[in-house]
Amino acid sequence: MARRLLVAVLAAVMTIMAVLTPAAADTPSWQHVPVPAQVRPQAGLNEAVAFGPDRAWAVGADAVGRQAPGFPLVLRWDGTAWQRQSLPGIGWQGELLSIAATSPTAVWAVGRDSAGGARLLRSDGIAWYESRPPRGVVLTRAVAGGGETWLIGSRDGAQVLLRWDGHGWRDVPVPPGSVFGLHILAADDVWAAGAADSGAAVSHWNGQAWQQTIVDGSPRSAVGSVLAVSPTEVWAGGTAGFIGGPAGRPIPPLLVRWDGQAWSRVTVPTDFGSISSLAPTTSGALAWVAVARSQKWGPPGSTPPLVPGPDFLAWDGQSFTQYSEPAVAGEGDSSVLRPAPVPGTATVWSVGRADGPEGTFAPRILRFG
């Protein structure tokens, strides 16, 4: 009788394990995705954009050395693997810094050549072509949204914003201070993340003028990413400033939220690092917060006192779920994290560059879902 009972219990346990094991195996996590074999180890990626399960692009630089500026690099995801795209007629050395698109047939990439000159590429979804950059402007970012494409750059040391009107690039007034990131909902509804003399600043463009708000008044604080969900929900992320402390002290992350009445600081489950990107869901709500160089205080008395913190924070509307990037043999952590959601899916890409041995670095592609 006892033996039968034992067999029955074991059978029940095995059944439960058989049910639970696949569920545990299906728990989503960030996975490492190899880069094409043609890309050399000393390469890096800066940004990606996706339009579907079989259409995504990433840009950066390849063959970068201590004395070599490298060459512009474009990768394309075809639904199965990342492939390097050829850049016929583009022979300059340098790096592609940013990529943005209003559709799969209107893709822009901005870069800088080895002489410091601005470079602007455009793709129709099949091939890439050199496009004439705005005269006298050094470009740093391309941002698209709401059918709009804008560029962030500088001219004669002063910051500029430029908008594509279908025929050329036109200057747009710039809010006080510096602009590091944009979220474009429409031509007359643009949010800018940056910094002013008084601290981290978020500005809103209504098509006529900017209205700027200091969202954190700490010295040297700044926000580089902004996400507008609705008139009563806007997020901005970056780094919080501080006074004092030893040289090289880590900097705390800064995440703030607008509720339609005021900006307030949001607590994140890490103590140090920089919020490098905010990524939305398909509906436009906040989905992901990326924290570059994330660190937390370890247990009291631990050596070293800091331990790795979460690299990605998934927001469900109430709280954060913490995720770390996977370990990759022979490589360290990513120094750049920029998630790119795939529209209509739960998949998210993140590209960047990871630390390598002896001061080198390697391209890094991660995928969630």
Q: Can you give the pTM of this predicted structure?
A: 0.89
Q: Where are the beta strands (DSSP E) in 114-232?
A: 118-123, 128-131, 138-145, 148-155, 158-164, 169-172, 178-186, 189-196, 199-205, 210-216, 222-230
What integer pLDDT is reported at residue 17 of this predicted model? 36
Tokens standing for residue 65? 């050395």
The identity of residue 190, as a single letter, is V
What would the two tokens of residue 145 be? 């949204």
> Phi and psi dihedrals of 229, rounded to 5?
-90, -45
Q: Pick from 319, 347, 353: which is nearest to 30 by CA?
A: 347
**Distance between CA atoms of residues 198 and 226, nearest Å:** 18
> CB-based contacts of 261: which residues, under 8 Å, 6+ apart?
none
Q: How does pLDDT run along the chain (369 residues), one tens digit per residue? A: 444 443 343 344 333 333 334 444 467 899 999 999 888 778 999 999 999 999 999 999 998 766 677 899 999 999 999 999 999 989 899 999 999 999 999 999 999 999 999 999 999 999 999 999 999 999 999 999 999 999 999 999 999 999 999 999 999 999 999 999 999 999 999 999 999 999 999 999 999 999 999 999 988 899 999 999 999 999 999 999 866 555 567 899 999 999 999 999 999 999 999 999 999 999 999 999 999 999 999 998 888 899 999 999 999 999 999 999 999 998 999 988 899 999 999 999 999 999 888 878 889 999 999
DSSP-derived secondary structure for 50-66: EEETTEEEEEEEES--S
pLDDT at 2: 42
Whether omega before 304 lies within 30 degrees of 0, making that bond cis, reads yes
Tokens 């995720």 — which residue?
323
Phi, psi of 271 (to 5 degrees): -95, -30
CA distance 30 to 348: 9
How many C-alpha atoms does 247 have within 13 Å on its Cβ side? 0
Do 349 and 342 touch, CB atoms closer than 8 A?
A: yes
